[in-house]
């Protein structure tokens, strides 16, 4: 398993000229925790948790890296992984003493590229895990079955009193909703994106929901169908009965996306970030380099791109900003690829309220 370093960047003093604050060597992480492949970062006041997808050799289930406020390694955060088979994203809701984590696959499985047969061989996740947050242990693992193949991005309501949360199952192209009722955690499928036929595919193409996001007022849920090429907005005022309120096309395999500035997005809509006021949403294209190359081979030469979507926060609805297109193909040492985005002043995935 190749070594992955963590780079701590200081943007607070001068956002236009950030400085490298610290590098945590992958070798040090492996030596002290037997973990590799960092993914999601969340802050616990002065402490930091990072989900790690594998052990030092790239095998599942991974775990969680624990850093202090000086970005020093404390060790592994969890006390007990329970029956957890894989690791990916996580989110927590302190007032309910709960953390929920999801599953992708072992780094050794997903890093070379996607092989559908490995799903049948149970090498990809299909469970979410409910943790006792204070005790740092898995209390309950929920098997999602065919409706929950490869559950990736996890989101709770921003309202700290709410128990409602959501996860996007990428390969099933479903959204799973959970909530607490009479002390028990209930899960239900609330959105099902239908597979679409494609002349070059032997099987119908799944939407592949690669990411989800909730607006700060918890009214709208956004999702990216990375393979289909559509980006959706749902009104989740009633979390169990979402209503589709907006849909735009960018990139994707179905050929429905318009051009912007004479260009089409290379790849499909992938990572997203929403402004605090809910009006401006940025969409990037790259999922993971080997998967990019496999499904969108032109991204090797053209690189990735970023587009902006305007969101109607009153009536619902979305529209692509025709005056905004960021091309990463000509970046130095490129063609480069765009992935995660962040607002300097905070955004809709930056904070967890206590």
Cα-Cα-Cα-Cα torsion 23, 24, 25, 26, nearest 10 degrees, comes to: -130
Which class does domain 40-62+78-327 fall in? mainly beta
Provide the pLDDT for residue 22.
Answer: 80
How confident is the model at residue 112, as a pLDDT? 97
Is the pLDDT assigned to residue 1 strictly greater than 60?
A: no
Nearest to 138 by CA among 163, 102, 172, 174: 102
What does pLDDT average to over the chain?
93
C-alpha pair distances (Å), 69 with each of 21, 33, 45, 72, 91: 13, 18, 9, 7, 19
How far lies 312's CA from each of 13, 279, 320, 350, in Å?
A: 33, 7, 12, 22
* Residue 242 pLDDT exceeds 50: yes
Which pLDDT does position 90 carry in this prediction?
Answer: 97
Reference 223, options 194, 191, 251; nearest CA is 191
**pLDDT tens digits along 147-171:** 999 999 999 999 999 999 999 999 9
pLDDT for 331 beyond 70 = yes
Under 8 Å CB-to-CB from 113, ≥6 apart: which residues? Answer: 290, 291, 293, 294
- Collapsing DSSP states into helix, strand and coil, what is residue 108? helix
Query: How much is the pLDDT for 3?
Result: 53
Distance between CA 193 and CA 157 in Å, rounded? Answer: 22
DSSP 252: S
Say what the pLDDT of residue 58 is: 97
pLDDT of residue 73: 96
Residue 13: per-residue pLDDT: 64
What is the Cα–Cα distance from 291 to 314, expressed in whole angstroms? 37
pLDDT band for 46, please (50, 70, 90 cuts): confident
pLDDT tens string 62-105: 999 999 988 999 999 999 999 999 999 999 999 999 999 999 99
Residue 243's CB: how many other CB atoms inside 10 A?
Answer: 11
pLDDT at res. 5? 81
């Amino acid at each position: 398993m190749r070594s992955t370093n963590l780079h701590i960047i200081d943007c607070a003093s001068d956002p236009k000229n950030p400085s490298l604050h610290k590098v945590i060597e992958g070798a040090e992480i492996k030596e002290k925790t037997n973990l590799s492949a960092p993914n999601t970062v969340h802050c616990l006041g002065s402490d930091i948790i990072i989900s790690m997808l594998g052990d030092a050799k790239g095998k599942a289930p991974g775990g969680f890296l624990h850093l202090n406020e000086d970005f020093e390694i404390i060790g592994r955060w969890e006390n007990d992984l329970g029956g957890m088979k894989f690791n990916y994203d996580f989110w927590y809701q302190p007032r309910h003493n709960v953390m929920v984590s999801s599953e992708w696959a072992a780094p050794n499985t997903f890093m070379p590229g996607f092989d559908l047969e490995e799903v049948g061989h149970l090498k990809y996740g299909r469970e979410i895990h409910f943790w006792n947050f204070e005790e740092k242990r898995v209390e309950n693992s929920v098997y999602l079955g065919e409706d929950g193949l490869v559950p990736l991005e996890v989101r709770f309501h921003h309202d700290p009193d709410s128990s409602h949360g959501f996860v996007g199952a990428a390969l099933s192209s479903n959204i799973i909703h959970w909530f607490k009722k009479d002390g028990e955690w209930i899960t239900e499928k609330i959105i099902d994106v239908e597979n679409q036929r494609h002349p070059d595919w032997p099987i119908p193409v799944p939407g592949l929901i690669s990411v989800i996001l909730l607006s700060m007022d918890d009214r709208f849920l956004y999702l990216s169908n990375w393979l289909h090429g559509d980006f959706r907005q749902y009104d989740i005022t009633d979390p169990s009965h979402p209503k589709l309120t907006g849909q735009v096309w960018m990139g994707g395999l179905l050929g429905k996306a318009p051009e912007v500035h004479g260009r089409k997005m290379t790849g499909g809509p992938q990572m997203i970030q929403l402004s605090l006021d809910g009006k401006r949403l940025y969409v990037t294209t790259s999922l993971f380099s080997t998967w990019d190359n496999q499904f969108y081979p032109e991204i090797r030469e053209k690189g990735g791109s970023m587009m902006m979507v305007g969101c109607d926060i009153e009536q619902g609805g979305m529209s692509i900003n025709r005056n905004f297109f960021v091309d990463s193909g000509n970046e130095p040492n490129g063609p480069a690829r765009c992935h995660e985005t962040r607002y300097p002043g905070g955004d809709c995935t930056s904070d967890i309220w206590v």
